[in-house]
C-alpha cells in the first residue's frame, strides 16, 4: 500500500462546477499538507499549504485537512478551463523534514 493514495481520475467537469479532490494517507507523522498544480510538461506549482487539521481558503480554492481520518481535500469553486491540469497532494512530517510524499495526481479537465 502506498503512503499517500490519490485517485488519478481523470475527472471532467463543466465550467463553473465545483471540483473536489482528495487524498488519504497512512503515516500519522505527517503534519504539513500541500496541493500542487502541474500543467503538462511544467513543474508543480504550489497552490495551498496547510499545517495540521483545519480549513484554509484562498480565492476559489479551499483546502481541508482531517488528521483524525488521515484525509485531505481540495475544492475549486467556479472552475475555469484554465484550471485543467494535474493536481498533486503532498505531505511531510516535522518542520525539519523536507522530504515530500506525493499522491499519484488527479488529472482534471474543465470543459468550456
Partner 1 sequence: KAGVTQTPRYLIKTRGQQVTLSCSPISGHRSVSWYQQTPGQGLQFLFEYFSETQRNKGNFPGRFSGRQFSNSRSEMNVSTLELGDSALYLCASSSDQGGGNTIYFGEGSWLTVV
- Summarize as ranges the residues that interact with partner 1 (CB under 8 A): 31-32, 34, 36, 41-46, 49, 51, 88, 90, 94-95, 97-105
Contacts of 43 (CB under 8 A, 6+ apart): none
Residue 25 Cβ vs partner 1, minimum distance, rounded to whole Å: 14
Q: Which is nearer to partner 1, 19 or 34 (CB)?
A: 34
Q: Nearest approach, Cβ of 16 to partner 1 (angstroms)?
A: 29
For partner 1, which is the closer residue by CB, 13 or 100? 100
Beta strands in the chain (DSSP E): 4-6, 11-14, 19-25, 32-38, 45-51, 54-58, 61-66, 71-76, 85-92, 101-102, 106-111
Nearer to partner 1, 21 or 79 (CB): 21
Least gap, CB of 112 to partner 1 (angstroms): 27
- Cis ω before 10 (30° cut-off from 0): yes
Amino acid at each position: 500500500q502506498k503512503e499517500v493514495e490519490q485517485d488519478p481520475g481523470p475527472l471532467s467537469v463543466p465550467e463553473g462546477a465545483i471540483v473536489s479532490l482528495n487524498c488519504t494517507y497512512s503515516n500519522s507523522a505527517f503534519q504539513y499538507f500541500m496541493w500542487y498544480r502541474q500543467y503538462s510538461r511544467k513543474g508543480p506549482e504550489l497552490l495551498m499549504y496547510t499545517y495540521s487539521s483545519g480549513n484554509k481558503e484562498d480565492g476559489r480554492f479551499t483546502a481541508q485537512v482531517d488528521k483524525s481520518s488521515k484525509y485531505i481535500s481540495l475544492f475549486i469553486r467556479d472552475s475555469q478551463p484554465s484550471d485543467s491540469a494535474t493536481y498533486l497532494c503532498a505531505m511531510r512530517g516535522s518542520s525539519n523534514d523536507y522530504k515530500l510524499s506525493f499522491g499519484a495526481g488527479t488529472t482534471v479537465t474543465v470543459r468550456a
